[in-house]
Amino acid sequence: MPCIGDAVPIPQFVPSPPPEAVMTPASPFPLPGTARSAFPALDTRSLLHAPKRQRARDTEQALLAAGRTLLATRDFESISVAQIVAACELSVGAFYGRFRDKAAFFEALQAAAVRDAQQAIERHLALPRCAALPTAALIDKATRLLVRGC
């Protein structure tokens, strides 16, 4: 019988991992465009890249929305990058991670405005009441949508 102070071995309990977490060798033939994985059962492509891409899209959309809001009240030259990022609570690094400079940001704003206008015109002209209009009337409606937004 052991006495107080004697070293007594303590049994170790080591739980076995669930079957899906057991590490198996990676396939010698990975899919094209993917790196070899030590955990081939896990599809890490969606885990590692999709949220990052979505976050980048969200960041870009937030910056463009802030730019549109600021442009509604002042001219582009008087707006600084610091004001743009402050309006959407992002860092200057986030801005330059998406845009080369302020001019590239303005080009992206223009492209987004043209895309939005084109989509609005297409939606409006696809309405049944526009289907029977002559070409001249359609052009007039499209022009009004571009100029006045109505």
Are the CB atoms for 97 and 55 separated by under 8 Å? no
Total Cβ atoms within 10 A of residue 85? 19
Selection from 54, 80, 71, 84 nearest residue 110 by Cα: 71
User: What does the pLDDT look like over 30-86, one tens digit per residue?
Assistant: 555 555 544 444 444 444 444 468 888 899 999 999 999 999 999 999 999 999 999
Burial class, 13, CB count within 10 angstroms (exposed 0-12 / middle 13-18 / buried 19+):
exposed
The one-letter amino acid at 77:
E
**Encoded tokens for 105:** 């940001």
Burial class, 84, CB count within 10 angstroms (exposed 0-12 / middle 13-18 / buried 19+):
buried
CA end-to-end distance (rounded Å), the chain: 94
**CA pair distance 120, 137, nearest whole angstrom:** 17
**Encoded tokens for 95:** 């801005």
Q: How confident is the model at residue 138 (pLDDT cuts 50, 70, 90)?
A: confident
Domains belonging to the chain, first-starting first, are 52-148 (1.10.357.10)
DSSP letter for each residue of 29-50: SPPTT----S-TTS-HHHHHHH
**CA pair distance 94, 66, nearest whole angstrom:** 13
**Where do we find the tokens 């910056």?**
63
User: What does the pLDDT look like over 76-135, one tens digit per residue?
Assistant: 999 999 999 999 999 999 999 999 999 999 999 999 888 888 888 788 778 888 777 888
